[in-house]
Structure 1
Amino acid sequence: MLREVCVENFTNVPELIAKGASRIELCDNLSVGGTSVSHGVAEVTINYCHSKNIKVMAMIRPRGGNFIYRKEEVEIMKRDLVHLKQLGTDGVVLGCLNDNGWIDEEAMKTLLHLAEGLEVTFHMAFDHIRPENQFKAIDWLVKHGVNRILTHGGPLHTKIEANLVRLKEYINYANGRIKILPGGGITNKNLSLITSELQIDEVHGTKIVE
């Protein structure tokens, strides 16, 4: 079982790896769902994790709030992505939407081009895509080479246990073409239930190791 632990700075990374974290999602400001980290945090964390053979997925997000970004914000994301790639991140975590409840295709294509050679996770912006468009969104992300989708399976205020049916639908529809990575409310207490119900081998959370 691959346990991707979400952290908002370097402080707890050594302890989390020692306790079984097998991949790190690195971001800042978890209280708003995560934003891009500073140069220092990124460089130290990436170097430390690589010394332990642990991959790092770096968040590319200029602010909290919605996932509809102005041109200038996309420029910020482009620069952050290039910078983190130069620092040696193994992958990036990002997602851009438009105001119609769909993927901002132009912004995403630009970012995905810059991310070539990295793993890419489309983050929980996916849960803000209109439900009737989400299966079509899986197809779009597969077509454009995204590796995984981080999703709660529903609104974040709901318990993830209540979203297992929807998550199974995503997994069945993806059919191995892209990894569905459940997150948001998975802990070491409910981990075995969720993994057995969904038959998955990767999970994401802040509290999934002891």
Structure 2
Amino acid sequence: MLEICANSIQSALAAQAGGAQRIELCQNLEQGGITPSFGLIRRVQASLTIPVFVLIRPRPGNFVYTADEWDIMAADIEQCRTLSCAGVVFGILDAAGRVDLARCRLLIELAGSMSVTFHRAFDACPNQAQALEDIIALGCQRILTSGGQITAMQGQAQLAALVQQAAGRISIMPGAGLTPENIRELAASNGATEFHASATRPILPSPAAEPTLFDATLLETDATIVAELAAQLNLPPNGAD
């Protein structure tokens, strides 16, 4: 399974065209991603045939949220359920870096039949072995993690340990820094079956355009990179058996 993090309708379409089996939809990928707008979710849902998981993150930064921020997350999950999204992606920690079981459990209840991924808030937990057991107890379907390191390649040993500890009770999905050049090695090193990548390239302001105060370099999914990732995992093209 190859999941691509897509931050726009263009990125979502490129991910599907390249052979992704699922996307994680967000916006503001340049700061790690936040919850996408209602309009973007609806447009992507109408345009894609592969499952769409939506990032539920009200702001960049840490994963200790105020009551107001939690209310926003809850409302966004309810909206995703209304739009028939396949899944949601979130993570809440307490001030000590432990999984906030009570508030995560309430969000999972709101998610209903949607699949739930606990995201890289897991990598901020000082005791990942305990955090893994807590997330399994919550009933999440997978954990997106780099093994507590900046990149998944640096976290290979921990990822293998997490897959072994999970023992099939939950999917450990490596992510962070995956490229066509390293994904096969990573897959062979830990026994994971789901992988997460952004497969982006920078989109620069058009050189023909007159510069403005609001020009910025953006990241966009590249279908060619997605196809190369899928090929390294020996995945069939979308629509193939």
Task: Provide runs of 4+ in structure 1 moved above 6 Å.
Answer: none
Q: Percent identity?
A: 37
Aligned-residue RMSD, C-alpha: 1.1
1:60 paired residue number = 56
* TM-aligned CA deviation for residue 189 of structure 1: 1.6
Q: Report the residue type matching 2:128 in the other structure.
A: Q
Cα distance in 2 for partners of 1:145, 1:127 equals 19
Whether 1:176 and 2:168 are equivalent positions in the alignment is: yes
2:12 and 2:25 in contact (8 A); partners too: no
The Cα offsets for residues 150-176 of structure 1, whole Å up to 9 and x where unpaired, read as 0011232xx422211010010000000
Cα distance in 1 for partners of 2:162, 2:191 equals 12
TM-score by length of 1: 0.93
Count of residues in Structure 1 that have an aligned counterpart in Structure 2: 202
The Cα offsets for residues 82-129 of structure 1, whole Å up to 9 and x where unpaired, read as 001101110000000011110112211110110121100000000001
Cα distance in 2 for partners of 1:103, 1:198 equals 24
Cα distance in 1 for partners of 2:111, 2:194 equals 22
2:7 and 2:28 in contact (8 A); partners too: yes
DSSP 3-state at the match of 1:161:
coil
TM-score by length of 2: 0.81
Cα distance in 1 for partners of 2:97, 2:178 equals 26
Cα distance in 1 for partners of 2:106, 2:191 equals 34
Whether 1:160 and 2:152 are equivalent positions in the alignment is: yes
Q: Report the residue type matching 1:127 in the other structure.
A: D
Whether 1:104 and 2:100 are equivalent positions in the alignment is: yes
Cα distance in 1 for partners of 2:14, 2:153 equals 28
Task: Report which of the two structures shows the higher radius of gyration computed on alpha carbons.
Answer: 2
| Residue of 144, 147, 161 corresponding to 1:150 | 144
Q: Which runs of 5+ in 1 are unaligned?
A: none
